[in-house]
Amino acid sequence: MFYRRKFHIVKNEFVEAFNEHFNETNLPNQHKHGARLTGRWMISHDTTTTGIFAIWEYDSYEKYQEIEANVRGDKEHVKRVQEWYEKHGGRNHVLEEYCMEVRNEELLSTLK
């Protein structure tokens, strides 16, 4: 199995829009292409930001790469994402103004 953690630190005023985008746009498209969500959580990071992260499970790293290529190649999905960014001032604006940090990390098990 291959596990990854997608982690964001988001300004508090953007959390609702960010979570709505995940639930309505990103999650359905990930599921459509075979990704499995283990869970998604958020925690206060400081007085102005919130940490939000999801853990995803894949059969292998190669399967993860295949699914990600399909997600990014889904023209309807890409259009929805672009429209969402434009609604919030454009991709660069969202990433500079509201998303303070973004990480996509492989998780390694400590179990034998």
CATH of the domain at 80: 3.30.70.100
Closest CA to 4 of 51, 68, 49: 68
φ, ψ (nearest 5 deg) of residue 29: -70, -40
Q: How many structural domains is the chain composed of? A: 1
Could you tell me the two tokens for 27? 């999650």
Give pLDDT, residue 61.
Answer: 96
**Each residue's pLDDT tens digit in the chain (112 positions)?**
999 999 999 999 999 999 999 999 999 999 999 999 999 999 999 999 999 999 999 999 999 999 999 999 999 999 999 999 999 999 999 999 999 999 999 999 999 8
Q: Which residues contact 65 (CB under 8 A, 6 or more apart)?
A: none
> What is the residue range of 19's domain?
2-107
